[in-house]
Structure 1
C-alpha cells in the first residue's frame, strides 16, 4: 500500500512542472509559471517563487503553454490555440483550436498579444476600479459624507467600451449640503493598433452648483500611444454639443475638446499613478473654457484591494465668473 502511495506521489510531483507554462530565454535560462498576458512587447508570467514577472518579448527564445490562449498576429484579428509547443530559436508551434489539431510554426515576432479566452467573450480584456470614501464626523456638527467612483473598460476585437461614474452626497446636521452624480459612456472603434474614433455621452447633475445639469455629446479621433499590463496613454480630440441647465439661463453650444487618459504602474507594480483630464473650448462668448480633470494614486494591498488618493478639479469660466469645484478622495477600493 505504501509503495503505491509513494509511486502516485512521485508521478504527481513529476506531472506538476509539466502542467506549468515554460519560457526559454535567449541567454539559456528557463522560467516556469503561468502566462498571464502578452501585450506591449512584454510577457507577464506568474511564478510561485517570484510572483508576477515581466519579460521582454524580444528576449524569449521559445515557449510552451498547455492551456488555450487567444493569439493576435499581424493585425487585429485573433486566433485561438489549444496549446503552444516549443520550436526553434525565435519560433513557436501553435496547435490550433480546430478539428484535427492543425499545427503551424510561426515566428514569435509576429505575435503581438496573448490573453486567456473567456467563456462568453473571447479575446476580451476587462478592467475596472471601484473606490469609496465614507467620512462620519461627530464633533460639534454632525457630518456624513459619501463618495463612490467607478470606472471600467472592455476591449473586444476592434472595439473598446469605457464606462465612468461618480456619486457624492454630504449632510451636516441632517441638512444636505452636497449632492451630485456623473455618468459617462464612450465607445471606441480602432482602425489600426493606435488610431481610433471615439463617440461618447456624458451627463452630470449637481443640486448645489451654478450649472445644475450638463450633457455632452461628442465624437472625434483618438490615438493610443500604448496600452499594456504596465499602463496606458490615450489622447483624444473631439467636437461636442454641450447643454447647460441652470436656474438663471439655459445654454446650448458646440465646443472643441482635447482629453488624455494616462495610467502607469510603478514600484514593482504595487503603486499606480493615473491622471485624466478633458478641456473644452466653447464656440460662444459666454463661456471661456471648461476643465474636468483628476490625478491620483492607488496602492495595491493584494490582488484586488487598493488604497486610493485622488484630487479632482471641475472648473468653468465665463463672463468674468469662475466656478470651481475641488474634491479630495482618500478611501479604499477594489480592482479587477
Structure 2
C-alpha cells in the first residue's frame, strides 16, 4: 500500500504546468495565458510570474489551451508536451510539433464559445462621518467589456448618493453603452449611447448619441490602449428649458498591469468640444490604481477630474476616492 502512495506522490508534480527556460531553470504552476510576448504563470510560491516568451526553451501544460499564431488558428490542445529547444508538442486530435516563435497567444478556452472575452470591475466607496455634521456618502462605479469575434461591447455605470444631516445633497447616476465593430485588427467603428440623471441640479437629464472611428494601439494580457474620435448629438433637459447641440469628442482608455499583474494602473478621459459659443470644452477624466488582494478582490485608489471652460472661465472639480471592489 505504501508503494502506491509513494508512486502517487511522485506523479503529483506532473499535474502542474511546467516551463523550461533557456538558462536551465524550470518553473511549475498554472499557465494563465500568453499574449504580447509574455507568459503569465500562477505559482504557489511566488504568485503570478510574468516570463518573456523569448526566454522559454519549451513547456508543458496539463490543461487545455487555445493557441493562435503563424499557421495556428484557434487550435484547442488537450495538453502541451515538452519538445526540443524552441519547440512544443501539441497533443490534440492530430498531434504535431510547433515552433514557439509561431505561437503568439495561448489562453485557456472559454466556456460557451472559445473567442469570448468577458472582464470587468466594480468599485465601492463608502464614507461615513460623525463629527460636527453627520455625512453619509455612497459611490459605486462599474465597467464591463465583452468581446466576441469582430464585436466589442462596453458598459459603464456610476451611482452617487450623499446625505448631510439627513438632507440629500447628491443624487445622480450615469449609464453608457458602446458598441465597437472591428474592420481590421486595430481599426474599429464605435456607436455610443450615454444617459445621465441628476436630481439635485438645474439640468436634470443629459442624453447623447454618437459614432465615429477608433484605433486600438495594443491589447494583450498586460494591458490595452485605444483612442476614439466621435461626432455626438447632445440634449440637456431641465425643469425650465432644454438645449440640443452637437459636439466632437476624443476618448481614450488605458490599462496596464504591473508587479507580476498584481497592480493595475488604469485611466480614461473624454474631451468634448461643443458647437456652441457658451462652452469651449468639457473634460471628464480619471486615473487610478487597483491592487489585487486575491483572484477577485481589489483595493482601489482613484483620482477624478471634471473640468468645464466657457466664456473665459474654467471650473474644475477634483475627487480622490479609496474603496474596495471586485474584478473578473
With structure 1 as the length reference, what TM-score do the two structures score? 0.89
In the other structure, the counterpart of 1:48 is 44
Write the mapping of 1:180-329 to structure 2, written as runs, cut at 5 A: 180-319=172-311, 324-329=316-321
1:90 aligns with 2:82: no
CA RMSD of aligned residues (A): 2.2
Deviates more, 1:288-297 or 1:305-314: 305-314
In the other structure, the counterpart of 1:21 is 17
With structure 2 as the length reference, what TM-score do the two structures score? 0.91
In the other structure, the counterpart of 1:105 is 97
Change (3 A) 1:249 1:170: same
The alpha carbon displacement at 1:320 in A equals: 5.1
Distance 1:253 1:236 in 2: 20
The alpha carbon displacement at 1:228 in A equals: 2.5
SS at match of 2:174: strand
- Pick one of 20, 27, 30 that aligns with 2:26: 30
Change (3 A) 1:75 1:177: farther
Consecutive unaligned residues of structure 1, counting only runs of 5 or more, are: none
Change (3 A) 1:311 1:248: farther
The alpha carbon displacement at 1:322 in A equals: 5.0
Change (3 A) 1:29 1:192: farther
The alpha carbon displacement at 1:303 in A equals: 2.8
Consecutive unaligned residues of structure 2, counting only runs of 5 or more, are: none
The alpha carbon displacement at 1:149 in A equals: 0.9
In the other structure, the counterpart of 1:63 is 59
Distance 2:197 2:318 in 1: 16
The alpha carbon displacement at 1:55 in A equals: 0.9
1:145 aligns with 2:137: yes
SS at match of 1:193: coil
SS at match of 1:303: coil
SS at match of 1:18: helix
Residue deviations 1:83-141, cap 9 Å, x none?
22223332223233xxxx11233322222221111222323332221111112222232
- Pick one of 106, 110, 130 that aligns with 2:122: 130
Residue deviations 1:10-53, cap 9 Å, x none?
12112212211122222333222211011111000112222211
Residue deviations 1:46-95, cap 9 Å, x none?
12222211111122222211211112224995232222222333222323
Q: Number of paired residues?
A: 328
